[in-house]
């Protein structure tokens, strides 16, 4: 990782760019290496997790924090549709389509790229 960071530093310096040490947080996934990454002799603080395309990626490579994030977003979206749920003139089938398109889509967006474990599936089905 240090070699790639050094290469990035030298390449970017060649075109007039420099790495912002306050905004840069490398993250090592599934490794036991504890050697810090440095830029210009200064050590960079390592990140514990980050969000990539709406999915939470953490240091351990687990999906627990991603599941919590997805369920939290879907729980926020559900009450926003309370006027739809309370309106008597809308058929149940239409309400289910709205639920699927507005709440479940938030819950399941990008889930095909996640590692699906038994716990992951149970938590998604429990929410559903």
Same domain, 83 and 106: yes
Which tens digit of pLDDT belongs to each residue from 13-44? 899 998 888 888 888 777 777 788 888 888 88
- Measured CA to CA, the distance from residue 74 to residue 108 in angstroms comes to 9
How many residues belong to the chain? 128
pLDDT digits (tens, 9 = 90+) for 113-123: 777 778 888 88
SS3 sequence, 44-101?
Answer: CCCCCEEEECCEEEECCCCCHHHHHHHHHHHHHHHHHHHHHHHCCCCCHHHHHHHHHH
Q: How many separate domains does the chain show? A: 2
pTM (2 d.p.) = 0.63
The verdict on residue 55 lying in a domain is no
3-state secondary structure of 39: strand
Range(s) of the domain holding residue 31:
1-47
Same domain, residue pair 37 and 64: no
């Amino acid at each position: 990782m240090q070699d790639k960071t050094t290469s990035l530093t030298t390449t970017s310096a060649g075109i007039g760019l420099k790495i912002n040490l306050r905004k840069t947080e490398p993250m090592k996934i599934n490794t036991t290496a504890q050697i810090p990454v440095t830029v210009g002799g200064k050590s960079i603080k390592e990140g514990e997790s980050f969000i990539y395309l709406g999915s939470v990626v953490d240091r351990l490579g687990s999906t627990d924090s991603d599941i919590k994030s997805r369920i939290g977003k879907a729980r926020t979206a559900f009450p926003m549709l309370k006027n739809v749920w309370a309106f008597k003139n809308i058929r149940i089938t239409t309400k289910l389509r709205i639920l699927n398109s507005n709440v479940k889509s938030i819950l399941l967006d990008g889930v095909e790229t996640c590692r699906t474990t038994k716990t992951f599936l149970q938590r998604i089905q429990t929410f559903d």
